[in-house]
Chains A and B, each alone.
Chain A
């Protein structure tokens, strides 16, 4: 499968725990995006990378959230001290330059 891959697909955690999601973009895609989608809403932009550089962060991304793309390939999104309001689907997308965004199937987070 050469699409965008996200892991884990589902994560249930207790409030206060840390979680990490991984995204493997399509090979040779230099741009990688993270979005968050809550129930009944459209996805909202969180952050994006060009190669290993994080170029923009939404104000939705509180200081409990951190994203990395250390070698310009896969990316991780970590949420520290999770809160119930963090429950959402976290979507990753990749593209080459400003071409079409290809989305993964998402990682669903449930915070109890």
Chain B
């Protein structure tokens, strides 16, 4: 069975400093992995996806994530936080390699960005 564990429920950073949101996954075969963002009163939005191509994945708004099979990790990073990055972030795994079917979400990490 597939699952994801987001290691931090809350992360707080200063504007302009790096962001690191940690995610470990469990999968019996090569998974598809995603990061979604949820702003208040907005729908979930796809930030980036990994589907067994390049291990370093670039997404929207300057975010990127690196797939590390040896560590079963898929951490999300951004070099410089912006106030508008404050939101809930979800690490997600799909049992369908290469696809988006039946996504399994982590519990989420709330990112706060302060001036």
Contacts and interface: CB of A to CB of B under 8 A. Distances in A.
A42 B102 contact: no
Interface of B is mostly: loop
A103 B44 CA distance: 6
A101 B108 CA distance: 18
Interface of A is mostly: loop
B91 to A, nearest CB: 9
A85 to B, nearest CB: 18
Contacts of A98: 96, 98-101
Interface of B: 9, 41-46, 49, 90, 92, 96, 98-108
Contact of A42 (B42, B46, B90, B98): B90
A3 B43 contact: yes
Interface in A18-52: 31, 33, 40-45, 48
